[in-house]
Structure formats: C-alpha cells, structure tokens
Amino acid sequence: MNEQMMPRYTAHAEVSALKIGQVIVHDPPPGMPVAGGFLFFDDSSFGHIEVDVDFLKKHNPQPGGYYVVLANGARTFMPAAAFEEAYTKI
C-alpha cells in the first residue's frame, strides 16, 4: 500500500488517514500474548496493512476508527468521533 496516496485531511496539521473496517490479530507463537495483526480498511482499494504487537498494545485500533499517518511519518489510531470532529477531508 502506498501511504502517500491515502486520502488527506487537515485540522491543525495535515495527515493521511483511512477508516478501519476490520482488525485481525495474528495467532501468537507459544508463550507470546499477541504477535501482531492486520488492519483492513472501509475503502477496500487500499487493501490492508500489517501492524506489530507494539502498535496494537499502544493504540488498540478498533473498527470504525482511523489509521492515521502524521506528516513526520508517525503512525497512530484515532477513534472515529475524535478524528471526525478534528479533521476535514481535503
């Protein structure tokens, strides 16, 4: 997936974002609580991305929320209400 082609939004800063349709967590190896997972998007033309266990633990992405890539390349998750209140599509 090319993150540069994701829809762009602006509030106090411009970001790229996609609404999450489904989160699938990998089956962990023995002794590990979580191995990572996949984020599938409402806009299926973007396919899916793989995220590591650290992203899952830190952000706890949920369907309906947004996978967000900040201008500095950092990746995060925002709940739908917070994202839609703060950002306007450009």
What pLDDT is recorded for position 3? 62
pLDDT score of 43:
95
Contacts 24+ apart (CB under 8 A), 5-10: 6/46, 6/69, 7/43, 7/89, 8/89, 8/90, 9/83, 9/87, 9/88, 9/89, 9/90, 10/87, 10/88, 10/90
Please name the fold of domain 3-89: OB fold (Dihydrolipoamide Acetyltransferase, E2P) (2.40.50)
pLDDT in tens, 24-73: 998 777 777 667 899 999 998 999 999 998 999 999 999 999 999 999 99
pTM of the full predicted structure? 0.82
